[in-house]
């Protein structure tokens, strides 16, 4: 299991070690001790989520405000996504900047997106199944959405006309956003 930092150092990519044989493959999809040792803190996940989406679905850019903020360990078990983490920590030198990466059933790569980031993805294949662990429970009243195609973000989604929930059609522009994250 290999951990590496992205251009926004708190967002991590994790490449599991895949053990293949004539039966198929095996890999450890999560290891608390290895994860905490790399992070240098006790990170506990309390909720697992799964969503399935058609091709061209965009979910995001979502966050939960403190004290309900969520760190997310995300992966794709069928299909593929372009995943995006947007830094919304107002005192961060990378505030308003994002990192993006392709996560897929094929590459088996995972990403850890800490609290303080808005998260979203667009699916690149049909029937894409997205699974993730969260460090806090769902709290809908604390949810917020940054508008996925806010020109100020310059996110290259690869999909110009995605399938969106009504909520995601009404995301906030970064310029109008008063971040609750320090």
Ligand X SMILES: Cc1cn([C@H]2C[C@H](O)[C@@H](COP(=O)(O)OP(=O)(O)O[C@H]3O[C@H](C)C(=O)[C@H](O)[C@H]3O)O2)c(=O)[nH]c1=O
Q: Are 11 and 111 in contact (CB under 8 A)?
A: yes
CB of 59 to ligand X, least distance (A): 4
CB of 160 to ligand X, least distance (A): 19
**68 is a catalytic site residue:** no
The span from the CA of 142 to the CA of 139, in Å, is 6
For the stretch 21-27, contacts whose Cβ atoms lie closer than 8 Å and that sit 24 or more positions apart, written own/partner, are 27/108
**132 is a catalytic site residue:** yes
The phi, psi pair for 37, rounded to 5°, reads: -65, -40
CB of 49 to ligand X, least distance (A): 5
- Residue 71 contacts ligand X per CB under 6 A: no
Select the residue interacting with ligand X from 96, 116, 120, 171 (CB under 6 A): 120
Among all residues, whose Cβ is closest to ligand X?
A: 138
The phi, psi pair for 70, rounded to 5°, reads: -120, 130
Distances (CA, A) of 119 to 27, 35, 48, 170: 25, 20, 16, 16
CB of 81 to ligand X, least distance (A): 9
Select the residue interacting with ligand X from 14, 16, 38, 60 (CB under 6 A): 60
DSSP string computed for 53-76? E-TTBEEEEEEE-TTS---EEEEE
Nearest partner of 159 among 21, 168, 2, judged by Cα: 168
C-beta closer to ligand X: residue 32 or 47: 47
- Residue 49 contacts ligand X per CB under 6 A: yes
- Residue 162 contacts ligand X per CB under 6 A: no
- Residue 98 contacts ligand X per CB under 6 A: no
Which span sits near ligand X by CB under 6 A: 29-37, 58-66, 152-160, 169-177?
58-66
Q: Are 153 and 75 in contact (CB under 8 A)?
A: no
Select the residue interacting with ligand X from 10, 56, 59, 148 (CB under 6 A): 59
Q: Which of the residues are catalytic?
A: 62, 132
Residue numbers at the binding site for ligand X (CB under 6 A) = 49, 51, 59-60, 62, 72, 119-121, 138, 165
């Amino acid at each position: 299991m290999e951990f590496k930092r992205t251009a926004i150092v708190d967002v991590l990519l994790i490449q599991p070690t895949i053990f293949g044989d004539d039966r198929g493959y095996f890999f450890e999809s999560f290891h608390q001790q290895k994860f905490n040792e790399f992070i240098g803190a006790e990170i506990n996940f309390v909720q697992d989520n799964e969503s399935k989406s058609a091709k061209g679905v965009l979910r995001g850019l979502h966050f939960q405000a403190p004290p309900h903020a969520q760190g997310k360990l995300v992966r794709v078990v069928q299909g593929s996504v372009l995943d995006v983490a947007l830094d919304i920590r107002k005192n961060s030198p990378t505030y308003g900047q994002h990192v993006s990466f392709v996560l897929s059933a094929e590459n088996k790569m995972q990403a850890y997106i800490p609290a303080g980031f808005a998260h979203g993805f667009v699916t690149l294949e049909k029937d894409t199944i997205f699974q993730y662990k969260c460090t806090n429970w769902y709290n809908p009243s604390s949810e917020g959405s940054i508008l996925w195609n806010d020109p100020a973000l310059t996110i290259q989604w690869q999909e110009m006309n995605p399938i969106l929930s009504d909520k995601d059609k009404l995301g906030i522009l970064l310029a109008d956003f008063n971040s609750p994250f320090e």
